[in-house]
Amino acid sequence: MTDWAYLDWNATAPLRPVAREAISAALALTGNPSSVHQEGRAARRVIELARADVATLVGADPRNVVFTSGGTEANALALSPAIEIAGDKAPRERLLVSAIEHPSVLAGGRFARDAIASIGVDPDGIVDLGALERELAKGQRALVSVMLANNETGVLQPIATAAEIVHRHGGLLHVDAVQAAGRIPIDINALGADLLTLSAHKLGGPKGVGALIRRDEAIHLADPLIRGGGQERGSRAGTENVSGIMGFGAAAVAARAGLVAERDHMLTLRERLETGLRVTTPDAVIFGAKAERLPNTTLVALRGLKAETLVIAFDLEGVALSSGAACSSGKVAPSHVLAAMGVEPALARGAIRVSLGQTTTAAEIDLSLGIWRKLVESLSVKEKRGLAA
């Protein structure tokens, strides 16, 4: 039995022990990776080893991995009209993004606001490929951004099919794979993604480091966000975060090695959770339940209950979970993801996200279900009396 549970892995995963050890080892290195002396070469060596490890996680060539400060920066770096391919320097004229993207993608990067179009999703949260094709058929050179797995619902997108459509129309495809990495297998070539975003802390690495990965070396990021040095093959200036990168690489190795066992473990616990939710509250809505999802993610709501009330109440009972994306904490507006899925605001305002990881236990799930049962009974009574906040 347990009296505490961390069930907010989609916000950030606990640091894997191997990543902690790698970070500690990196902190003992003195040299600047750009220096040519022995100390500098030692720092450069561990960066390149980590680059290879991160590349292997997604089936990429290490030369095509650009380290960044995280997923948000990697997305911003990718969303530029100035992406060249095989020497073609003509700019991308439009940016097409799915309506359920992370805010860092919805912001549009360096595209003008009137050059950005949103592609809707169906009630299960799956991108409307017909709408995507109609937008691409308008003929302008496009960059398209569609996430692999949604951070709130866990719903997986048909990326390979989207890539075929995008490429048929002469477009390029960027995929935010931040939530999927370490939870499902990813192969950048099988997906057909031209650019892929990762973030270390979602798979058990440290916060503050991520990567933008190219499928092909012919893709050139002609307009770096940060200029001033030749680091990262000219794509991202500044002295590299050696300890963070080394921790990222170690986490990537561990995630790849444990992928099948961890995925099966999380799926078993997710099914235990959702079965318990349905038994306790048959009227509860699990969003995206009919679609293929990440094995660790459940977004659930019960009509009449408010997410902020539930999140605070769970926290007081010793369970950490969230009302959606961590970057949206504190906001009272309904989820843009659920709005795009056509969920009525009254129901969307009650959605809470439970996200699991490789060290989550059955006891934590049972603790959460017991708290859910108690809170639903208590808050339902208060709602009827008009007392719940």
Residues designated catalytic: 327
Helix (H) or strand (E) segment spanning residue 352: strand 352-355
Nearest to 79 by CA among 95, 68, 101: 95
Distance between CA atoms of 326 and 19, rounded to whole angstroms? 22
Instruction: Tokens for 6, please give them.
Output: 């961390």
Q: Measured between alpha carbons, how far is residue 168 from residues 14, 105, 131, 136, 245 in Å?
A: 41, 23, 15, 9, 36
Q: Measured between alpha carbons, how far is residue 385 from residues 35, 144, 307, 379, 388 in Å?
A: 69, 49, 18, 10, 8
Count CB-CB contacts under 10 A for residue 203: 27
Distance between CA atoms of 313 and 307, rounded to whole angstroms? 10
Q: For the residues of 267-316, what is the DSSP string, one character each? A: HHHHHHHHHHHHHH-TT-EETTTTS-B-TTEEEEE-TT--HHHHHHHHHH
Instruction: Tokens for 134, please give them.
Output: 């109609």
Q: How many residues does the chain have?
A: 389
Distance between CA atoms of 299 and 338, rounded to whole angstroms? 10
Q: How far apart are the first and last CA of the chain?
A: 31
Helix (H) or strand (E) segment spanning residue 172: strand 172-176
Q: Is 282 exposed, middle or buried (0-12, 13-18, 19+ CB in 10 A)?
A: exposed
Q: Measured between alpha carbons, how far is residue 300 from residues 237, 297, 303, 338, 359 in Å?
A: 42, 10, 10, 11, 22
365: helix, strand or coil: helix
